[in-house]
Amino acid sequence: MRIQKAGVGLAAALAIGLAGGAQATTLADLSGGQSLTVGSLTFSDFTITVTGALDPNLADYKVLTVSNGFRIVGGFSAFNGQQGDMLVSYDVSAAPGTAVDDLRLAFNGTAVGAHSGATVSEDLFGIPSGDPIASATVFRTGSGLSQKVDSVTFAPQTSFTVEKDILVKAGSGTSTGGDQDADDNDDHKGDKDRDKDKDHDKDRHHHFGKDFDLKDCDNLKGGGFATISFVDQQFSVVPEPGSLVLLSGGLVGLLAFGRKRKS
């Protein structure tokens, strides 16, 4: 109980500190049809679904603008066997003459205890083709595995859809013990018996070759919790390839015209 209260307090304090006193957009605003424009990018058509232990009130989640993106601030928390999941889908459109060729995903997830983990994963799909463009994953497990920043470069896109999954899962074990060494970690991951687990597919997230399995944190003994207080989403904006062709063509034309006048 003390661990749960401490974890809730930590997540709430971080969320409040990160949001600050300024009036911010909330996920409720975006889910209600509001769009968000940051620089030359517009984020729109938000669809948000919350399940499990997470706070279902979208007004409690603040959305702050950062360079070419935004930050979601809120108390994503799970304790003692709980699991909470938020699915966020939205479209990204670049201003005329620009495109996006890179994404950066980051968070400050914390996880303590067996079977505990915090993860944010996302996939990008082209508009209107629906073809997969890229994927990114950040995670933290109770056994110490961690990747808190992920970035991916891809062919320039003028518009695309992002499907993001924010997940926290807390173990309910009661035994005590410590971390196993790296060798035991590898042996555990290679255990063929895990493939027979009926719940295996529910815990594994597939993202174009990147797999993250919450069962990978089974090595740490004892119960625990998982929290996330912010998730950052940023993109790199570049000139649209077609604009570069037109620009270079114009420069060549001006150069040729200048030479003609001299002659």
**Cβ atoms < 10 Å from Cβ of 24:** 16
pTM over 0.75: no
Beta bridge mates, 70:
65, 233
Position 137 scores a pLDDT of 98
The C-alpha atoms of residue 189 and residue 22 are separated, in whole angstroms, by: 45
Position 24 scores a pLDDT of 83
Position 214 scores a pLDDT of 53
Domain ranges, ordered by start, for the chain: 2-262
Position 78 scores a pLDDT of 97
Interval 29-45: pLDDT, tens: 999 999 999 999 999 99
Low-confidence ranges of the chain (pLDDT < 50): 1-22, 174-212, 216-221, 243-252, 256-257
Chain-centre distance for alpha carbon 79: 21
Which residues, in sequence order, are CB contacts of 63 under 8 Å at separation 6+? Answer: 24, 25, 26, 27, 29, 30, 36, 70, 71, 72, 73
